[in-house]
Every structure is written in C-alpha cells, then in structure tokens.
Amino acid sequence: ESVAFTDDEARAAAAQKLKISIYFATWWALNVVFNIYNKKVLNAFPYPWLTSTLSLAAGSLIMLLSWAARVTEAPKTDLKFWKALAPVAVAHTIGHVAATVSMSKVAVSFTHIIKSGEPAFSVLVSRFVLGERFPVPVYLSLVPIIGGCALAALTELNFDMTGFMGAMISNLAFVFRNIFSKRGMKVTSVSGMNYYACLSMLSLLILLPFAIGVEGPQLWAAGWHEAISQIGPHFVWWVAAQSVFYHLYNQVSYMSLDEISPLTFSIGNTMKRISVIVSSIIVFRTPVQPINALGAAIAILGTFLYSQAKQ
C-alpha cells in the first residue's frame, strides 16, 4: 500500500519535472526567435519605446481574442485583483522598456550578459528590501556573478552607458516583478497564462502615454518610411514576429513561474540567456573578444554555483 503510494508520488514528480522541462525548452526557443526579430527591427527602426508598446499590444490583442473565442477561459477578476496587479505592471513595464532600450544601443549578447546577473539582484533585493537572510555560500556565489558581468562590461568593445544601465534597471525591475507576481498568483485563482495576459494589458496602458511622450507619432512615421524603404514591405512581418513572440515566450514563462519559485525562475532565465547569447552572436556576427567571453562564462558559472548554494 505505502509502496504504491510512493510509486504514485514518484510518477507525479516525474510528470511534473517533464512538464517544467517542456515549458523551459519552449520558453527558451520562443525567446531566441523574439530576440533575433527584435534586434532586426531595432537595427532598421531604432524606436524601442514603440516596439515595446507593440509587444504588449500584440499580447493584449491575442488574449482578448482568445477569451472572446473561448479558446481560453477569461479570468474572473475584481478591482482588488487589478489594484494588486498595478505595482507588478509598473515593474514589468520598466523592466521591459529598459531591456529594449538597452538592446537598441548595444549587441543583444551584451544586454543578455548583463541580464545574466539577475539572480544577484534577486539576493540583494530579498536581503535588503525584504529582510530575508541567506547562508554564506549564497553570498559568495555573487562574487563570480557580479565579477563576471563586470569583466564582460569592462571589456565590451561597443560599450554604451545607456545600454548597460538599461540592462541593470531591467534586472532590478524584473526581480520585483517576479517576486510580486508569484505572491499575486498564490492568492488568486487566476492561472499563469491569464495572469500574464492581465499584466500585458495593464502594462500597455501604463507604457503607451510614455512611449508617445518619449518618441511619438512623428518620429515613428518618419522612421517607419525609412525602414520600409531600406528593408522592403516585409519589414512589417519582422515587427509582427517580435511582438507575437514576445507575448508567447512571456506567456510560457509565466506558466512556469506559476509552478516554480521565483529563484528557480531566475536561474532558468539565466540558462536561457546562454542560447540567446550564442545564437545572437552567430546571427548578427557580433565580434567577441576572448576576455569578454570569459566574463560571460564566469557570470553564468556563478549562477550555477548560486543555484547549488541555495538548495
């Protein structure tokens, strides 16, 4: 009897593991496609505030349509839910636009090397803002994470302060977003997929006025004409791809976050960056110096050590 129970438990655990692995693989693959199209778009059309807005708009539209068509059941939400979601949406908006501004200024690989430092931000925020304490090895693992990122930043050939700061701000904002999203998902019956849908919609409302203020329709129109004349009419498909893939990868990442801790999420996210860094270096023929690659490798190794130290 008890043996059968353990068997069932083991089977359930294995099934859960398989499910998370499939989520992670899908998340990473979708993210690679997003990053490539996003950078292709930004190279021809350097308006990150608009492209960030379009990503959120695409996600909102997809989800509104799938609720209307009953492909997914619309969540039951009240004012309390949206109020609790507001700070999460502010963090999501800041993190998203900051990362996109960063990628408009520097190589995709550089943004993601800096973003591989996210677990370090997670520890610092948990320690100094939430008052959580960690065992010493956790703090020690921050040395290679921060040191590796610093080495990569210092040896980056096309270093740009806005590009660097954008990635750093994104790290900080997403740590808050992840911790508060997880808390939010725990207290509501809204699934990860629908939680992210609501997050997109609220973020879109927050971002739109700022995007108009910072860039605005005049620059967009001029830039759009230039991009079309440079790339051709199929430029519009690149924009559509970056927008739709942004939504899809985030949706799958939230389906994962619903089932794992924010910490496991951050680690999965850093591992994801290896595939993004490698594929973007190949696609965009980014020149890499060995010392620069070493910095990235140390930072990512630091994340492995961190995950070990946390267990």
Using CB under 6 A, list all residues that contact ligand 3PG.
Answer: 95-96, 99-100, 115, 174, 269
CB of 95 to ligand 3PG, least distance (A): 6
Nearest approach, Cβ of 293 to ligand 3PG (angstroms)? 20
For the bound state, the minimum distance from the C-beta of residue 148 to ligand 3PG, rounded and expressed in Å, comes to 18
Determine how many CB atoms are found less than 10 A away from the CB of residue 16.
12
Task: Please state, in angstroms and rounded to a whole number, the distance separating the CA atoms of residues 22 and 10.
Answer: 18
CB of 83 to ligand 3PG, least distance (A): 23
Residue nearest to ligand 3PG (CB): 99
Q: Amino acid identity, residue 131? A: G
Q: In the complex with ligand 3PG, which residue's Cβ is closer, 77 or 275?
A: 275
Rg (CA), the chain: 20
Taking CA atoms, 79 is separated from 76, 82, 84, 201, in Å, by 11, 5, 9, 15
User: Which CB, 95 or 148, lies closer to ligand 3PG?
Assistant: 95
Residue 53 or 100: which CB sits closer to ligand 3PG? 100
The residue among 36, 16, 116, 60 whose CA lies nearest residue 250 is 60
Distance, in Å, from the CA atom of 150 to the CA atom of 172, rounded to the nearest integer, reads 16
Q: What is the DSSP string of 241-281?
A: HHHHHHHHHHHHHHHHHTTS-HHHHHHHHHHHHHHHHHHHH
Identify which of residues 99 and 298 has a Cβ nearer to ligand 3PG in the complex. Answer: 99
Q: Which is nearer to ligand 3PG, 235 or 246 (CB)?
A: 246
CB of 272 to ligand 3PG, least distance (A): 7
